[in-house]
Structure 1
């Protein structure tokens, strides 16, 4: 990944592509134990799985906790600039000179940017704001452990 933007809210990266095929273990049960080796039957390329529009796709690393019901600090977001934005989608927004990640809420002609952390207030967009929906979050990658 090549870092293309750094701020206190997030870092943005451009993906670098390679052919990396990883064994796909099929579906993993969250219940009783199964032997994964018995199910390895194909290989996947994570670039092909996660990225639909290579020239319009970026990664962003989450900083902060305003979206902690959806993402944790340090999670890697896959952002697609070619994806259409609409009510309910989570977007990387450029508002008044700063990037932020929020859920788009449009109700009765009013646009709000909603955090998922209840400690933060929704942001109501007015004519005084400059807002650009920079891209839509299509996947997130989280480190466990």
Structure 2
């Protein structure tokens, strides 16, 4: 594991690795056992980070929705098509669970390139559950 916080291209055909600063809140923090860590993985996308991180830490059920039903909640908020502006959503199977969010440098991944968001050394990845937004 690389602890320098720099993207590193290994010689001999090994894959590039990226080290990011991971912040965990709520139930994710409890399951992982710490609120913050540096994490090194092979690759440079959020998808590759999540593949590695979720293989090492058993928190996929807290973060990743497998269906549209698991990602949305019916309530007092109008449907997105009834709201003004543009609303972006990751494709089914690549969404976070309701009340959970994955952020890169303080921005929801669906407002970036979803799971294909490119990560650089030192980027901050936040794994939040529960995420609650209040006026």
Whether TM exceeds 0.5 here: the answer is: no
User: With structure 2 as the length reference, what TM-score do the two structures score?
Assistant: 0.32
Q: Which has the larger radius of gyration?
A: 1
Structure with a larger share of its residues in strand:
1
Between Structure 1 and Structure 2, which shows a larger proportion of helix residues? 2
Query: What is the TM-score normalised by the length of structure 1?
Result: 0.30
